[in-house]
Amino acid sequence: MLIKNAAFYYKVNGTLRWHSHDCYEFDYIVRGKGTIRYGPRGRKRRRIGPGLFYLFLPHEEHQLVLDRGDGEVIEYTIHCQIEDIERDIRAFFEGELADKRFFNIGVRQRYFFEELRGKVYSRNNLLMRGGIYRFLGFLYELAAGVLHAPDEAEDRHVEEALRMLQASIKNRPALDSLAGRLGLSRSYFVHLFKKRMGLPPMKYLARLKVEAACWHLKRADVAVHEVAHELGFEDEFYFSRTFKKWVGMSPRAYRERYAHGAEPVLIRKWSPDVPLRERIDAMMGVPEIVRRESRAE
């Protein structure tokens, strides 16, 4: 099995267009509400909200309609590809998982998905394979009804910190305030978060804002300065500088490069040892020779 994509999405503005993938898609909603349409002619519908985890089969068209009051959804998306010889895994996906399809796993699984993202995009092949097998184990436990939420104190602190930071994509929260809400000192909070996530909390928030900006920049009707304002940046210059630091190109260059990508939503990725731009290029099908030339610029 291969995990082709493990992404954090910040989706806004009403209705997303119908789409499908050539692989298995798993979505985990952590914020926002809406309705999923799927099946022949979109006749099947399911309400979604925080804590829901669900599956779509390859080439199964679906559409997300956001609730008008919320106007945004935050989710993790995992795309899995199964080889022909992995018949037992395919049978599991299209049997027990597909029969249930929708699972309520609660809103305390953010840390699991963040850790998974880091592993499956690692250049360390052992870590990458470990992430894949861990996700597969997660699915088997889910189907068996024995999935557990984080129980260690440190994991609970990190899980709650992730929730607060993801809820602050449009704001600029104070580090002392975040630590205080967790009942931790500022220094211990930064130490714990960096130990578990690989980067300090405010850097993690900056990365979330950049990932959210990727969504906004797919919309041609929104100016760059409006994206900066929407995501709580001081000004367009600071936003552009932050964006380029994480992605390797300016917001305008990004819009030109990916505005007409095949995916309905640009897949955004991050790992401590894999540049975000390199992961984007790989997902969008940019040839390796082009990626090498881009890195040489």
Unique residue bearing structure tokens 């002619």: 41
pLDDT of residue 260: 59
φ and ψ at 60, to 5 degrees?
-90, 110
Residue 69: pLDDT over 90: no
pTM of the model: 0.81
Model confidence at 105, pLDDT cuts 50, 70, 90, reads: very high
pLDDT of residue 268: 38
For 232: left if phi > 0, alpha if psi spans -120 to 50, otherwise beta; the answer is left
Residue 295: pLDDT over 80: no
Torsion angle defined by CA atoms of residues 251, 281, 23 and 107, in that order, rounded to the nearest 10 degrees: -50
Model confidence at 70, pLDDT cuts 50, 70, 90, reads: low
Residue 44: pLDDT over 90: yes
Burial pattern 195-209, b for ≥16 Cβ within 10 A else e, equals: ebbbeebbebbbbbb
Q: How many Cα atoms sit within 13 Å of 180 on the Cβ side?
A: 5
Distance CA 236, CA 228 (A): 6
Hey, how many other C-beta atoms are within 10 angstroms of the C-beta on 253?
Answer: 14
Greater model confidence, 274 or 249: 249
Greater model confidence, 244 or 149: 244
Mean of the pLDDT values across residues 81-87?
94
Give the model confidence (pLDDT) of 108-126 as tens digits. Answer: 999 999 999 989 988 899 9
Distance CA 254, CA 244 (A): 9
The answer to which of 143-152, 237-246, 287-296 has the lowest mean pLDDT is: 287-296
Greater model confidence, 69 or 183: 183
Model confidence at 11, pLDDT cuts 50, 70, 90, reads: confident
**What residues contact residue 224 under an 8 Å CB cut-off, 6+ apart?**
217, 236, 239, 240, 251, 252, 255
The answer to which of 97-106, 149-158, 268-277 has the lowest mean pLDDT is: 268-277
φ and ψ at 267, to 5 degrees?
-75, 125
pLDDT of residue 278: 52
Task: Note whether 31 and 166 are within 8 A (CB).
Answer: yes
Averaged pLDDT of the chain: 84
Task: Give the closest residue to 193 by CA, choosing from 83, 110, 253.
Answer: 110
Residue 244: pLDDT over 70: yes
pLDDT of residue 243: 93
Task: Note whether 37 and 63 are within 8 A (CB).
Answer: yes
Task: Give the closest residue to 37 by CA, choosing from 49, 28, 46.
Answer: 46
pLDDT of residue 31: 92
Give the model confidence (pLDDT) of 153-202 as tens digits. Answer: 788 899 999 999 999 999 889 999 999 999 999 999 999 999 989 899 99
What is the CATH code of the structural domain delimited by 2-144?
A: 2.60.120.280
How many angstroms separate the most distant Cα atoms in the chain?
54
pLDDT of residue 38: 94
Residue 36: pLDDT over 60: yes
